[in-house]
Amino acid sequence: MEQLKQLLTAAGIAYKENEPLAAHCTFKIGGPARLFVQPTDRAQLCRVVALCKAQGVRYYLLGNGSNILFADEGYNGAVLDVSSMQDAVEVHGTQLTAGAGVRLSALCKTALEHGLTGLEFAYGIPGTVGGAVYMNAGAYGGEMKDILLSVTAMDKDGNIREYEPHEMGLGYRSSRFAKEGLIVLEAEIQLRKGNQGEIEASMKDLAARRRQKQPLEYPSAGSTFKRPEGYFAGKLIMDAGLRGYLVGEAQVSEKHCGFVINRGNATAADVRTLMQNVADIVEEKFGVRLEPEVKMIGEF
């Protein structure tokens, strides 16, 4: 780790030591990262990854931290803050090209400004382009797979190449990038010309629906469990009588049972125990095993 810090300093790549991860995720939970590295561009990101591998330091790429539960002990390695990259959105007719660090909110705003439709579903999803591609993010009937034209990613050997849609392995909350540990660097998105007023109205409508149905007033990691085939996780949890179920300061949301919220001082241990209990009770009552959608990072 000391050698890595020296190499990062020599390369002019910013980092912090023992940075609280609770400050960098939407759950507001998590201990410190040994190193919190903040690359400013793709070259620095690729360099950090290469240095971590060379020094045998484990690393984790962090976007907006919206689908993550960090361990209470933190992360004994290097967390690479992709959102610190000074990525931009380029517009080429009906196509948008965005770096991995671009926030979905900025991408949606660009689409709106240019009267491009097809991205409305992503409005309000708290994440970055890289994270959205990695997990094939989706909402309200739309998914990233519907609009991706190409993705540039780096493999574990440091090779960078472009992937076409048929090579991406995009499924429900999954992708080839996640399965193979590829690092998303850039995405090219295909949209369509639309009416700016209608696009804006759709985005506002979806935002209002999110506020009405989701517990946005509390820290959470979004949908806690994947949707089981033929069921809805939230309804199974509600029907199991678990609305408002508490473990410590972690709670099944009373507003939407598909969300686990942090009521203020929840620990990762609270959340993990709650998720385990909920999955056990739902399986016992309905014979359906809920699988986590939230990624657990660190030692659990």
Active site residue ranges: 173, 223, 293
Tokens 């990072």 belong to 297
E strands, 216-258, are 220-223, 246-247, 250-252
Nearest of 4, 76, 83, 84 to residue 47 by alpha carbon: 4
Residue type, 45: L
Q: How far apart are CA 295 and CA 6, in angstroms?
A: 31
User: CB-side exposure of 161: number of CA atoms within 13 Å?
Assistant: 10
E-assigned strands of 93-226? 95-99, 116-117, 138-139, 142-143, 148-154, 160-163, 183-190, 192-193, 220-223
**287 conformational bin, left if phi > 0, alpha if psi -120 to 50, beta if neither:** left
With contact defined as beta carbons under 8 Å apart, do 245 and 278 qualify?
yes
* 8 A C-beta contact, residue 77 and residue 145: no
Q: Is the separation of the CB atoms in 189 and 95 below 8 Å?
A: yes
| Rg of the Cα atoms in the chain | 20
Q: Are 271 and 251 in contact (CB under 8 A)?
A: no
Under DSSP, the state recorded for 22 is G
Closest-CA residue to 256 (of 225, 279, 287, 280): 225
Taking the C-alpha atoms of residue 248 and residue 82, their distance in angstroms, rounded to an integer, is 32
- Length of the chain in terms of residues written: 300
